[in-house]
């Protein structure tokens, strides 16, 4: 029932958000990396029956599976982040499984949250087949959680769901390697997402064909700032229920140090370069598993195979960017997709900081939403960013307003609109 006078009702009408489902489509099963079993099930974390809320990803390769991660720099790191960080550090960059739940973030939940995260790790470890490398590590599972902050997991339901995927339970086990299995796993990542985010690609290094596939999620609370284990950046917790999670798998063999190096580079140029609402989550995590199932004994390493490593790093970066773009397109309430490109900055860091300031400016966002080419707001945001000195004793560079221009490039291929700050300097 509306309590507004009828003549004012149209003033409050919201613009309909167009469907984004076309960003999800079937991928050929042959494009997925070999040596992985995965799937998604409804464990009961989410209230709606049948909606996937638990994903299990297992590496079945006979080769050692390297693992790398970039975690949130939020000071209030969630229990899954802390537990996975510890496992990767102890194992020296090896892990063979990932378990993910949606519907509850298990963040800021104290000792109980840590106990629950470890319980998920141990239950998933039990699903792994014995291997020669297994005896080296106490735990081989990384864990992710996403959903409401400050609530405890329904851990008994989650553990029962993980157990249902044991080879002993043939009637309930749904793990597979085809498109449907990957799709169900991607669906289990979702919170307020409107479509599952899944992509795959095939690439070649030294005449050997490899595959990359991965999934991510995120619709709100999206302004990632992730780095390798041990990095931090303070940000107060927000009582929201979304985050950025991503998991990428490849059947290439990559040394742990090189996998981490490539992922850090890729994340800086993809996930750390997107923003929806400017809020950094307590749970943001991106994992990569490289199981070597297609390697024929060839190990990609940045020191012993520079050419192969550079190809892999580029493929991973491009792939991560594709996944990151899907997160932006599915932003809560988002109707525009905008790429901010900064040219001529003294350093990559300066360019990144300027692009970030522009993309998070409320005034810029309202201009873009209203389809108003108010380029002055972009210049104002640009000019508010202090440039960084190139060395400890160097003088910080400054922006020269007479050499700055703003260009709007329509995505439909029509002519670009060029504006220059010089117009403000003319008499």
Does 217 show up as a binding residue in the annotation? yes
Taking CA atoms, 346 is separated from 272, 288, 343, in Å, by: 20, 32, 9
Based on the number of CB atoms within 10 Å of its own CB, is 38 exposed (0-12), middle (13-18) or buried (19 or more)?
Answer: buried
With beta carbons less than 8 A apart as the criterion, state whether 81 and 117 touch: no
Tokens, residue 337: 């997709």
DSSP state letter for 416: P
Does 141 show up as a binding residue in the annotation? no
Catalytic position from the list 124, 141, 243, 264: 243
Measured over the CA atoms of residue 361, residue 366, residue 369 and residue 371, the dihedral's sign is negative
Taking CA atoms, 74 is separated from 81, 275, 285, in Å, by: 11, 15, 11
Q: Is 382 a catalytic residue?
A: no
End-to-end Cα spacing for the chain: 57
With beta carbons less than 8 A apart as the criterion, state whether 253 and 63 touch: yes
How far apart CA 16 and CA 110 sit, in angstroms, is 41
Measured at the alpha carbon of residue 413, what is the angle toward residues 411 and 414, in degrees to the nearest 5? 110
How far apart CA 387 and CA 394 sit, in angstroms, is 12
How far apart CA 18 and CA 30 sit, in angstroms, is 32
With beta carbons less than 8 A apart as the criterion, state whether 249 and 57 touch: yes
With beta carbons less than 8 A apart as the criterion, state whether 222 and 284 touch: no
Does 13 show up as a binding residue in the annotation? no
With beta carbons less than 8 A apart as the criterion, state whether 109 and 151 touch: yes
Please give the full DSSP string across 199-261, using - where no structure is assigned. EEEEEEETTEEEEEEEEEE-SSS----EESTT--------------EEEEEESS-B-HHHHHH
Measured at the alpha carbon of residue 316, what is the angle toward residues 78 and 382, in degrees to the nearest 5? 75
How far apart CA 19 and CA 192 sit, in angstroms, is 14
Tokens, residue 319: 């792939």
Does 243 show up as a binding residue in the annotation? yes
List active site positions.
243
State the binding site for substrate. Answer: 191, 217, 243, 332
């Amino acid at each position: 029932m509306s309590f507004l006078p009828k003549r004012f009702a149209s003033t409050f009408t919201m613009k309909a958000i167009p469907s984004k489902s076309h960003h999800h489509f079937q991928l050929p099963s042959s494009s997925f990396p070999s040596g992985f079993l995965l799937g998604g099930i409804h464990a009961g974390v989410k209230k709606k029956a049948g909606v996937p809320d638990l994903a299990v990803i297992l590496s079945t390769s006979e080769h050692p599976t390297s693992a790398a991660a970039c975690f949130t720099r939020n000071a209030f790191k969630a229990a899954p982040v802390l537990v996975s960080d510890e496992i990767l550090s102890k194992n020296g960059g090896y892990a063979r499984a990932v378990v993910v739940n949606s519907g509850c973030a298990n963040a800021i939940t104290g000792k109980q949250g840590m106990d629950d995260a470890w319980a998920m790790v141990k239950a998933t470890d039990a699903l792994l087949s014995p291997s020669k490398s297994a005896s080296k590590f106490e735990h081989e599972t990384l864990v992710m959680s996403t959903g409401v902050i400050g609530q405890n997991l329904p851990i008994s339901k989650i553990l029962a769901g993980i157990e249902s995927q044991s080879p002993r339970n043939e009637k309930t086990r749904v793990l597979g390697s085809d498109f449907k299995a990957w799709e169900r796993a991607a669906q289990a990542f979702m919170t307020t997402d409107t479509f599952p985010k899944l992509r795959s690609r095939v690439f070649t290094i030294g005449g050997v064909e490899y595959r990359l596939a991965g999934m991510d999620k995120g619709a709100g609370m999206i302004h990632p700032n992730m780095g390798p284990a041990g990095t931090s950046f303070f940000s107060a917790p927000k009582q929201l229920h979304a985050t950025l999670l991503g998991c990428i798998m490849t059947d290439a063999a990559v040394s742990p140090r090189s996998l981490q190096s490539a992922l850090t580079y890729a994340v800086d140029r993809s996930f750390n370069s997107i923003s929806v609402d400017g809020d950094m989550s307590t749970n943001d995590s991106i994992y990569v598993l490289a199981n070597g199932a297609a390697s024929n004994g060839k190990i990609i390493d940045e020191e012993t195979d520079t050419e192969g490593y550079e190809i892999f790093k580029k493929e991973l970066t491009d792939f991560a960017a594709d996944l990151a773009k899907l997160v932006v397109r599915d932003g809560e309430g988002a109707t525009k997709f905008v790429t901010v490109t900064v040219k001529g900055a003294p350093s990559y860091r300066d360019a990144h900081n300027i692009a970030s300031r522009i993309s998070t400016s409320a005034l810029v966002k309202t201009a873009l939403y209203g389809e108003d080419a108010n380029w002055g707001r972009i210049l104002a945001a640009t000019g508010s960013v202090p440039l960084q000195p190139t060395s400890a004793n160097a003088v910080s560079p400054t922006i020269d307003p007479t050499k700055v221009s703003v260009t709007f490039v329509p995505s439909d291929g029509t002519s670009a609109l060029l504006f220059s700050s010089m117009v403000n300097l003319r008499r």
